[in-house]
C-alpha cells in the first residue's frame, strides 16, 4: 500500500511507538463508521517525516505525539483550546488510516501536535495520546478531584490503571474494581487502597462499605451498562461520575440509573481525550516524575502480533498497556 502523504496543514509522522486500545477493538468490531481497507491505531509517538503546506510550528525531525482527537484548528472550540470536542475533528485510525503502520498522516499540525520533552521516550509519549490523557482530563479537568477524596475506578485496564496512578498523584484515595485478579494486583501496586473483584459481587455495596458511605468520584473505564451503573451507584450524595469507557449503542442505549442521579444530585460527566493545549500541565508532572506512564506499559509487540491480538482485545486479560513497535 502507498505511504501516506502530508495533507495541507498537516504532517506525516514516522511511527516509533503506538498503543493498542479498546477503541481499536471497537473499530475492528464495526462499532464506528469506517471505510475499508483500513489501518487502525490512534495512540502514537514518532518523528515528523514530511511537512504539508501551511504548517508553521513543525519541521522534519521533530519528536512529537498527538491527542487521538485532532481538531480542525479553525472553529470556536479549537480556538478556545477545546479541540477534543471539535465538530470537524479527525481521528487517526478512525476517520483515516492510523498508526499501526510505519507512517501516519496527521491533520491540523499547528493545533494538535505536542513536542515530546527530551527526557520522555517514545513509548511513554505514545501512552499519553488516548488513555492516559483521557484519564488525566477525567480527574483534573472534569471531576476536578481534591486531595483525600475517594475515587472509585471501575476497570483496571490501560485507562483504568492510568486513572489510579493520576488519582494517587493528586492525593486521592482509590478503590479499584475489575473482573481479573491480576488487574487488581496491578492497581494495588500503583497505590489503590482497596480492590473489589467484580466477579458477580455487589460492587456498589462493597464500595460504599470500603469508603464509609460512598465514593466522591467514580470513573467507568470499561464502558458497559453494568460498569456505568456500578460507578454511579458507588457514589455518595452529590458525587461525580465520569464516563470514559465507550458505550456505542450497538445493543441499544444503556440504561442509566437516572433516579439516583436526580435524587442524590450526582454529576454525570463525559471525557473525550484531551486537547493538545492542555498537555503542558500533564507533561510537567511526567518530567518531575510525579506521573510515570511508562510503568503502565505491560508489553511491547510487533505489527504482526498486533494484528493477531486485535480481534480478541475485548477479552484479553491485560494488566496495563500493550505497546506496538512497528520496527520490531
Ligand atoms: Zn484509545
Ligand atoms: Zn475545530
Read off the pLDDT of residues 196-212 as tens digits, 9 standing for 90 and up: 999 888 999 999 999 99
Cell numbers given for 60:
522534519
Residue that terminates a domain, selected from 232, 247, 270: 270
Ligand closest to the CA atom of residue 92: 1
Answer whether residue 302 is part of any domain. Answer: yes
Query: Are 124 and 211 in the same domain?
Result: no
CA of 73 to the centre of ligand 2 (A): 5
Query: Are 164 and 241 in the same domain?
Result: yes
Distance CA 105, CA 276 (A): 17
For residue 320, pLDDT over 80 is answered with no
Ligand closest to the CA atom of residue 130: 1
pLDDT for residue 66:
96
Query: Are 179 and 303 in the same domain?
Result: no
Query: Are 176 and 143 in the same domain?
Result: yes
Answer whether residue 304 is part of any domain. Answer: yes
CA of 82 to the centre of ligand 2 (A): 8
- Tens digits of residue pLDDT in 44-85: 999 999 999 999 999 999 999 999 999 999 999 999 999 999
**Residue 219 domain boundaries:** 131-270
Residue that terminates a domain, selected from 238, 255, 270: 270
CA of 77 to the centre of ligand 2 (A): 6
Answer whether residue 46 is part of any domain. Answer: yes
CA of 3 to the centre of ligand 2 (A): 26
For residue 281, pLDDT over 80 is answered with yes
CATH number of the domain residue 303 falls in: 3.90.180.10
Ligand closest to the CA atom of residue 75: 2
CA of 33 to the centre of ligand 1 (A): 16
CA of 17 to the centre of ligand 2 (A): 26
Ligand closest to the CA atom of residue 70: 2
Total domain count, the chain: 2
CATH number of the domain residue 264 falls in: 3.40.50.720
Answer whether residue 4 is part of any domain. Answer: no
Query: Are 246 and 136 in the same domain?
Result: yes
Answer whether residue 2 is part of any domain. Answer: no
CA of 24 to the centre of ligand 1 (A): 7
Ligand closest to the CA atom of residue 74: 2
Ligand closest to the CA atom of residue 82: 2
CA of 208 to the centre of ligand 1 (A): 30
Query: Are 138 and 262 in the same domain?
Result: yes
pLDDT for residue 328:
86
Query: Are 279 and 162 in the same domain?
Result: no
> 3-state SS string over the chain?
CCCCCCCCCCEEEEEEEEEECHHHHHHHCCCCCCCCCCCCCCEEEEEEEEECCCCCCCCCCCEEECCCCECCCCCHHHHCCCHHHCCCCECECCCECCCCCCEEEECCHHHHCEECCCCCCHHHHHCHHHHHHHHHHHHHHHCCCCCCCEEEEECCCHHHHHHHHHHHHCCCEEEEEECCHHHHHHHHHCCCCEEEECCCCCHHHHHHHHCCCCEEEEEECCCCHHHHHHHHHCEEEEEEEEECCCCCCECECCCCCHHHHHHCCCEEEECCCCCHHHHHHHHHHHHCCCCCHHHHEEEEECHHHHHHHHHHCCCCCCCCEEEECCCC
Query: Are 120 and 138 in the same domain?
Result: no
pLDDT for residue 313:
83
Answer whether residue 1 is part of any domain. Answer: no
Amino acid at each position: 500500500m502507498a505511504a501516506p502523504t502530508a495533507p495541507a496543514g498537516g504532517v506525516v509522522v514516522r511511527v516509533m511507538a503506538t498503543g493498542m486500545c479498546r477503541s481499536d477493538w471497537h473499530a475492528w468490531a464495526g462499532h464506528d463508521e469506517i471505510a475499508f481497507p483500513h489501518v487502525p491505531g490512534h495512540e502514537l509517538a514518532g518523528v515528523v517525516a514530511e511537512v504539508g503546506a501551511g504548517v508553521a510550528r513543525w519541521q522534519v525531525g521533530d519528536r512529537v505525539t498527538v491527542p487521538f482527537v485532532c481538531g480542525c484548528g479553525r472553529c470556536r472550540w479549537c480556538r478556545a483550546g477545546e479541540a477534543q470536542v471539535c465538530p470537524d475533528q479527525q481521528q487517526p485510525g478512525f476517520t483515516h488510516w492510523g498508526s499501526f503502520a510505519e507512517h501516519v498522516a496527521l491533520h491540523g499540525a499547528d493545533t494538535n501536535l505536542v513536542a515530546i520533552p527530551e527526557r520522555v521516550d517514545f513509548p511513554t509519549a505514545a501512552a499519553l495520546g488516548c488513555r492516559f490523557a483521557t484519564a488525566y482530563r477525567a480527574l483534573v479537568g472534569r471531576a476536578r478531584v481534591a486531595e483525600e477524596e475517594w475515587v472509585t475506578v471501575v476497570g483496571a485496564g490501560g485507562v483504568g490503571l492510568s486513572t489510579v496512578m493520576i488519582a494517587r498523584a493528586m492525593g486521592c484515595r482509590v478503590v479499584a474494581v475489575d473482573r481479573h485478579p491480576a488487574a487488581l494486583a496491578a492497581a494495588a501496586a500503583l497505590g489503590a487502597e482497596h480492590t473489589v473483584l467484580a466477579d458477580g459481587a455487589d460492587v456498589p455495596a462493597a464500595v460504599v462499605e470500603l469508603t464509609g458511605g460512598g465514593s466522591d468520584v467514580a470513573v467507568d473505564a470499561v464502558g458497559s451498562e453494568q460498569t456505568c451503573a456500578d460507578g454511579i451507584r458507588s457514589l455518595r450524595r452529590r458525587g461525580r461520575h465520569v464516563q470514559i469507557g465507550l458505550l456505542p449503542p450497538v445493543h441499544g442505549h444503556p440504561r442509566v440509573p437516572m433516579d439516583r442521579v436526580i435524587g442524590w444530585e450526582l454529576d454525570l460527566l463525559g471525557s473525550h481525550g484531551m486537547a493538545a493545549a492542555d498537555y503542558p500541565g500533564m507533561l510537567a508532572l511526567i518530567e518531575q516524575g510525579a506521573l510515570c506512564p511508562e510503568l503502565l506499559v505491560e508489553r511491547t509487540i510487533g505489527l504482526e502480533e498486533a494484528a493477531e491480538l486485535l480481534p480478541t482485545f475485548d477479552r484479553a486479560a491485560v494488566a496495563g498497556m500493550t505497546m506496538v513497535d512497528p520496527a520490531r
